[in-house]
């Protein structure tokens, strides 16, 4: 009898398992009453959104994630307008590109009493409620310190920055310069503004390295540049002759650091940015916070011995459903 | 383990297995149907959401057109229509929130609802402005247009939201459709798998049925057919350790029955054998009894004439005595003794001494008859002559020697009578031999055969009579043998059992009678 019961139980479990696999429910219940936030990301920032989702789960907020396949400031502004019309309780966005439309939309939101948080990238001359992100100046400074540590005498460095008008990137460059200012072994021979388009970045970098063969150090002020630097150096076969310090961390950048193409990178804790952004809005709505200009989040200095896999898992432990426009 | 074995029956096994199969099949089918239902429900919900969204947009389009018309004309009726449309549209939005969906879906609908409210607020501003303006001026119209533009901005935002949502829902519907197809495919495969599993199960089930029920019955049938009552071990049916209880009981009962049958048949055979032996014994006894009666009859017949002769002899003896015929008197005396012996002891037992005494009388007569032609010698060991023997066993032997042995000899014939006792064999040996003509081998064989035949022929009836009576007297322990060679004479040897105890104890009836 026991044999039959065991066989029956095993079969029932198998059936339940199979049915469980096919009956995964994709329905939820409507969460009414929870404050609605909208995150309008210039592109798709998974780690930051993951942090926001963690905050949603913890605080009971409801954040919607809007992203763009290609960065488009006008569409970003339009999405912010839509968020305003839908009377959300808070908007989180990022200001990579200068745009009057974007600035206008942020102002409109703020004028209607909707707090706007700039996450990761700040914009000048907006009435945004708060900036939450890394201390860009310190990031640049850390990168400079890494370079002084890595190089010897006669270092010719180039600073590659996508947008000199972007306040965040400007601060990084300033920090970098400040860090190497007292080091006589390092000289900045060129500063290149390359934009955010990778093909453009690649072309300009190749030109730079062609014109300045003496350059043996690079500072990549943004992730967009950092991700292409290794490839460009590989194309000109100078990966071993050039010391590269970066800002931003991704799989591509980590590969460069692992194979010693890049010496180090300074990265922000993206998940923390997202979490802090939602938490700030939540506290703001509940009157626990007033206008706070800036909230700096943690940065990390990534070398070859960094435990990237564990850090990556932690950053991506939450998945969100993006509304890609 | 023993308790479990006792409870293990084929019926339980069958019921358990079938019940399990039925439950599993029902569960599989139930779960499959339920999963198909759920997937279909999800797909239906997605379609419903799409339809609702489409309805919403259509109504929004209609409302927006009405707003445009109202902005241009300020017609109150249009505004009433707008209000009804808005009510209807909000109702549609409300239905959409009630439709099952994901978290993102609910959020999108909420945003849409709020946007629509914002849109309606703009429309209301148009209405209020229009309502408040008694006179339409360029300025008031500009203000009105500004409110209209605001409403259009919101409308554009709603439209953008609608497009995004619609696109997402279309993707979702496509996904659900694939789910439905996958589920249907899974269901078909599951049915096929179930058929295969059922067939496989049926195969193993039938195999088990054959092994546990049909094969034992087949073995039993073969055993029954092959049972011949001889070899029990071959007829028994083997009972395996995994045999079900019902079959095991049946086979045990059969084997026990075989054993009992075998035992009974052995008993019957034994009894039949014993009965046959008894029958043979009875037949033998009957034959001996008949022979005895026949011998007694002959002896009785012999008794009749001797009485007359004895009386006659007495008379002759008296006459001879009166005539001084001494030899005649002696002869008559011997003859009388002979006759007396015959009268008194025929069919009875006598001592060997008495028998030899009789033989002496006989020999005396024969000596008178044959004179010097035939000589009789007695070589006797009288140590055991008190043993008992049947009467008239020696005279016939001597008579045979006279008749067939030395009878034709004209001179030098000798008949010798010896007795000896062999202590080692506890036998009294009596030898009657002659130096007569002897017998040819063929004749000798014939005589020997007739000695053992119960119905011997007339010529040999004396020897076979003596042999038979000796055998009956001594219960088959006596031996009588005859040896002869042509021209060398014939010897008859009697070996009679004579235990040492018989030497001394003498309650000899014949001695007492004499």
Q: What is the pLDDT of residue A18?
A: 63
End-to-end alpha carbon distance in chain B: 93
Comparing CA positions, the residue from B134, B480, B122 lying closest to residue A85 is B122
The answer for residues whose C-beta is within 8 angstroms of residue B441's C-beta and 6 or more apart is none
Alpha-carbon span B285 to B282, nearest angstrom: 5
Residue B102 tokens read as 């994901």
User: Which of B38, B42, B111 to mutate to probe the A interface, most A CBs <10 Å?
Assistant: B111
Domain at A2-133+270-324: CATH code: 3.40.50.2300
Contact B107 A19 (CB under 8 A): no
Alpha-carbon span B345 to B508, nearest angstrom: 12
Q: Do domains A2-133+270-324 and A136-268 have the same CATH topology?
A: yes
Comparing CA positions, the residue from B248, B201, B242 lying closest to residue B17 is B201
**Residue with the two structure tokens 């339920």:** B34
Give the SS3 label for residue B382: helix
The answer for residues whose C-beta is within 8 angstroms of residue A205's C-beta and 6 or more apart is A160, A192, A194, A225, A228, A229, A232
Q: What is the pLDDT of residues A256-301, one digit of tens each?
A: 999 888 999 999 999 999 999 999 999 999 888 776 778 899 999 9
We find that the CATH architecture of domain A136-268 is 3-Layer(aba) Sandwich (3.40)
The answer, yes or no, to whether residue B352 has pLDDT greater than 70, is yes
Overall residue count recorded for chain B in this entry: 514
Phi, psi of B213 (to 5 degrees): -120, -55
Chain A residues in contact with B110 (beta carbon < 8 A): 30, 32, 36, 86
Alpha-carbon span A163 to B489, nearest angstrom: 166
Q: What is the pLDDT of residue B135?
A: 62
Whole-number percent of chain B with pLDDT over 70 = 87
The answer to ipTM > 0.85 is no
CB A247 within 8 A of CB A223: yes
Alpha-carbon span B298 to B300, nearest angstrom: 5
Chain A residues in contact with B183 (beta carbon < 8 A): 22
- For residue B381, count other CB atoms closer than 10 A to its CB: 13
- For residue A294, count other CB atoms closer than 10 A to its CB: 11
Phi, psi of A307 (to 5 degrees): -90, 80
Closest-CA distance, B157 to chain A, in angstroms, reads: 5
Q: What is the pLDDT of residues A50-108, one digit of tens each?
A: 999 999 999 999 999 999 888 788 889 999 999 999 999 999 998 776 677 888 899 99
Q: What is the pLDDT of residues B146-168, one digit of tens each?
A: 888 889 999 999 998 888 888 88
Burial of A17-35, coded b for 16+ CB within 10 Å and e otherwise, reads: ebbeebbeebeeebeeeeb
Alpha-carbon span A226 to B134, nearest angstrom: 65
What's the rounded mean pLDDT across residues B343-354? 86
Q: What is the pLDDT of residue B514?
A: 42
Overall residue count recorded for chain A in this entry: 325
Q: What is the pLDDT of residue B408?
A: 79
CB B463 within 8 A of CB B400: yes
**Residue with the two structure tokens 């001889």:** B230
Chain A residues in contact with B106 (beta carbon < 8 A): 28-31
Chain B residues in contact with A321 (beta carbon < 8 A): 102-104
Contact B31 A7 (CB under 8 A): no
Domain boundaries, chain A: 2-133+270-324, 136-268
What is the edge-to-edge ordering of all strands in the sheet holding A186-193?
Answer: A186-193, A155-161, A217-220, A243-247, A264-268, A299-302
Return the residue of A nearest to B150 by Cα: A85
Q: What is the pLDDT of residues B23-38, one digit of tens each?
A: 878 887 887 888 888 8
Q: What is the pLDDT of residue B381?
A: 92
């Amino acid at each position: 009898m026991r044999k039959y019961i065991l066989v029956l139980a095993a079969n029932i479990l198998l059936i339940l398992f199979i049915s469980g696999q096919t009956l995964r429910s994709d329905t939820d219940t409507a969460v009414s009453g929870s404050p609605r936030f909208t995150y309008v990301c210039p592109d798709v920032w998974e780690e930051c959104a993951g942090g926001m989702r963690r905050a949603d789960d913890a605080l009971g907020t409801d954040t919607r994630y809007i992203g763009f396949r290609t960065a488009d400031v006008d569409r970003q502004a339009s999405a912010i307008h839509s968020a305003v019309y839908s009377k959300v309780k808070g908007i989180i966005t990022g200001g990579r590109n200068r745009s009057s439309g974007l600035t206008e939309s942020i102002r409109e939101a703020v004028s209607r009493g909707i707090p706007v948080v700039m996450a990761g990238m700040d914009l000048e001359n907006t009435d945004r409620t708060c900036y939450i992100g890394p201390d860009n100046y310190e990031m640049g400074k850390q990168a400079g310190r890494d370079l002084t540590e890595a190089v010897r005498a006669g270092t010719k460095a180039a600073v590659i920055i996508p947008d000199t008008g972007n306040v965040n990137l400007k601060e990084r460059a300033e920090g970098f310069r400040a860090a190497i200012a007292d080091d006589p072994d390092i000289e900045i021979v060129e500063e290149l503004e390359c934009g955010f388009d990778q093909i453009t970045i690649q072309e300009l970098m190749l030109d730079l390295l062609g014109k300045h063969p003496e350059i043996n150090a690079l500072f990549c002020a943004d992730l967009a540049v950092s991700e292409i630097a290794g490839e460009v150096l590989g194309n000109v076969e100078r990966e071993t002759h050039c010391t590269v310090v970066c800002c931003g961390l991704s799989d591509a950048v980590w590969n460069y650091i692992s194979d010693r193409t890049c010496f180090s990178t300074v990265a922000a804790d993206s998940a923390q940015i997202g979490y802090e952004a939602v938490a700030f809005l939540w506290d703001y709505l509940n009157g626990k916070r007033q206008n706070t200009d800036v909230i700096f989040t943690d940065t990390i200095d990534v070398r070859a011995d960094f435990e990237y896999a564990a850090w990556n898992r932690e950053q991506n432990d939450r998945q969100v459903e993006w509304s890609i426009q | 383990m023993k308790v479990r074995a006792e409870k293990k029956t084929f019926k339980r096994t069958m019921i358990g297995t079938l019940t399990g199969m039925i439950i599993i099949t029902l569960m599989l089918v139930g779960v499959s149907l339920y999963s198909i239902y759920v997937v279909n429900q999800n797909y239906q919900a997605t379609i419903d959401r799409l339809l609702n969204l489409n309805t919403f947009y259509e109504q929004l389009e209609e409302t927006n057109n009405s707003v445009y018309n109202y902005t241009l004309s300020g017609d109150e009726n249009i505004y009433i229509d707008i209000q009804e449309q808005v009510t209807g549209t909000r109702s549609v939005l409300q239905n959409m929130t009630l439709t099952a969906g994901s978290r993102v879906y609910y959020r999108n609908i909420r945003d849409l609802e709020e946007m629509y409210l914002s849109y309606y607020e703009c429309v209301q501003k148009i209405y209020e402005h229009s309502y408040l303006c008694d006179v339409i001026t360029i300025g008031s119209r500009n203000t009105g247009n500004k409110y209209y533009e605001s409403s259009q901005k919101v409308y554009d935002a709603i439209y953008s939201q609608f497009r995004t949502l619609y696109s997402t829902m279309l993707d979702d519907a496509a996904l659900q459709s694939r789910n439905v197809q996958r589920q249907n495919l899974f269901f078909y495969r599951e049915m096929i798998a179930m058929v295969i599993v059922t067939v496989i199960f049926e195969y193993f089930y039938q195999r088990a049925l054959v092994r546990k029920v049909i094969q034992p019955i087949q073995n039993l049938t073969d055993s029954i057919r092959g049972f011949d009552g001889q070899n029990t071990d071959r007829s028994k049916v083997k009972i395996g350790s995994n045999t079900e209880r019902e079959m095991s009981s049946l086979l045990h009962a059969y084997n026990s029955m075989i054993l009992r049958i075998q035992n009974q048949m052995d008993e019957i055979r034994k009894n039949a054998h014993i009965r046959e032996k008894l029958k043979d014994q009875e037949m033998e006894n009957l034959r001996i009894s008949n022979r005895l009666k026949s011998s007694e009859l002959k002896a009785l017949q012999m008794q009749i004439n001797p009485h007359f002769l004895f009386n006659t002899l007495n008379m002759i003896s008296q006459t001879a005595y009166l005539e001084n015929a001494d030899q005649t008197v002696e002869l008559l005396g011997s003859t009388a003794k002979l006759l007396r012996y015959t009268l008194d002891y025929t069919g009875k037992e006598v001592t060997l001494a008495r028998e030899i005494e009789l033989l002496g009388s006989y020999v005396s007569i024969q000596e008178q008859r044959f004179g010097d032609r035939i000589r009789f010698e007695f070589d006797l060991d009288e140590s055991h002559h008190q043993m008992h023997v049947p009467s008239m066993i020696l005279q016939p032997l001597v008579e045979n020697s006279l008749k067939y042995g030395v009878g034709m000899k004209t001179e030098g014939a000798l008949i010798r009578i010896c007795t000896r006792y062999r202590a080692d064999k506890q036998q009294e040996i009596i030898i009657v031999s002659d130096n007569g003509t002897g017998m040819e081998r063929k004749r000798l064989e014939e005589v020997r055969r007739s000695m053992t035949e119960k119905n011997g022929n007339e010529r040999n009836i004396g020897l076979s009579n003596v042999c038979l009576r000796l055998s009956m007297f001594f219960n088959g322990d006596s031996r009588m043998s005859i040896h002869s060679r042509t021209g060398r004479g014939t010897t008859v040897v009697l070996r009679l059992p004579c235990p040492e105890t018989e030497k001394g104890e003498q309650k000899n009836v014949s001695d007492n009678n004499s």
